[in-house]
Amino acid sequence: MSLLADSPKTIRHDSALRRSVLPPGEGLLFGIALATAAIGQAIGILSGRRTDMGVVTSVLGDLASLGVFVLAGASLALFIGAARRRSKTPARDILTALFGFLFDGARFLRFARTAAIFIFFAIGFGELKGLAAWGGFAWDESLMHLDRWLHFGRLPHEWLRVFYDWPLAVQIVNFVYNLWYFVMIGAFLAIGIGWGSQEDRFRFLLAFMTSWLVGGVLIASIFSSAGPCFYGRLDFGGEYSLLMARLGVVDLTHALYALSTQDMLWESYAEGSSASSISAFPSLHVATATLIALLGWRKGWLGRVAGTAFMAMILFGSVLLGWHYAVDGYAGIAIALGAWKFAGMLSGRLMAGKGYEPERADR
């Protein structure tokens, strides 16, 4: 679906929602985000840490950068469309479409609310996630044994040993893994500027915050763990020493940002300067990639293929690069699926309560 031309079905749904000051469920989304921010900041104050407001400027800057990229792509698409139609006034057609898109008041408000919800949530979550470290990483050895049992007596990375002989392949996986953040920001930008219905937006935002709070705070605190890359540094044993050695060899010829990032996180954790530096189970990378894939599944075959491929690559990279035990990713998928189902049920009730009939796919 083009962001510059919503389908009639989406227009009918959204026009019904605009009759109220806020769309159904918006108060709940803001409530969760603001509560997360308040509780997180309270924990930070009690712990003697200052709020890093850099997260606000960073997110806004990244959203703006991606927005410019999307605008450039949309302009190119409009130009190609005008050329195919052999428009006599291509410049006017393009500017009319762009101005209509950029100066749509309802679209601007939807984007502003989406960005505010994400930023408030992110400000608080960083401190809440630090609670996972309070468990002293007591579950790493158990997760290692579970990984070995589930994968027929071998650790998952041992099944992947052939890939370490292809340094370029490992570097490509590292590159895609690093794109996770920008894909996540891009998903928020897309639903913020009108990609999908209001119900799509509500469901994704609620499922996202639910996954991160339940998975990244509650479950991560119960099953406190650091991950394979820190297994040896925590003196649990040498089960992952060969994995890290292989990654080190690859890094000699094909730079792996994963290793430098792992070193930075370890230093931050050792110094006590970051509350959320290390946490493995469950994988929020995989959980978020799963939610993005689920959102993509509602947008046709291309969204399904791209979303599923991205999720699979993040799961694969989390193991290949030593970030996670495989069970971290499996748990992340399960949590995301549960949160998506829960958000779908709740969104259906909220939308129906406001006279909005959900699409069949929304139920």
Q: Helix 8-17 crosses helix 198-213 at what angle (to 10 degrees)?
A: 70
Is the residue at 301 inside a domain?
Answer: yes
Poorest-pLDDT segment among 49-53, 67-71, 201-205:
49-53
What the block records as the tokens of 344 is: 């779908």
Is the distance from CB of 207 to CB of 336 less than 8 angstroms?
Answer: yes
Q: Write out pLDDT tens, residues 210-225.
A: 999 999 999 999 999 9
Is the residue at 57 inside a domain?
Answer: no
Is the distance from CB of 135 to CB of 142 less than 8 angstroms?
Answer: no
The pLDDT value recorded for residue 358 is 45
Is the residue at 356 inside a domain?
Answer: yes
Measured distance CA(327)–CA(243) in Å, rounded:
17
- Whether 69 shows a pLDDT value over 60: the answer reads yes
Domain count across the chain: 1
Measured distance CA(60)–CA(38) in Å, rounded:
20
Is the residue at 54 inside a domain?
Answer: no
Is the residue at 68 inside a domain?
Answer: no
Transcribe 61-101 into DSSP letters.
HHHHHHHHHHHHHHHHHHHHHHHHHT-S-HHHHHHHHHHHH
Is the residue at 332 inside a domain?
Answer: yes
Q: Write out pLDDT tens, residues 135-146.
A: 688 999 999 999
Q: 94 or 250: which carries more pLDDT confidence?
A: 250
Residues 161, 165, 168: CA angle, nearest 5 degrees: 120
Tell how many helices (H) and how many strands (E) occur in the chain: 16, 0
Is the residue at 293 inside a domain?
Answer: yes
| Mean pLDDT for all residues in the chain | 84
b/e burial code for range 295-317 (CB count within 10 A of at least 16 → b): bbbbbeeebeeebbebbebbbbb
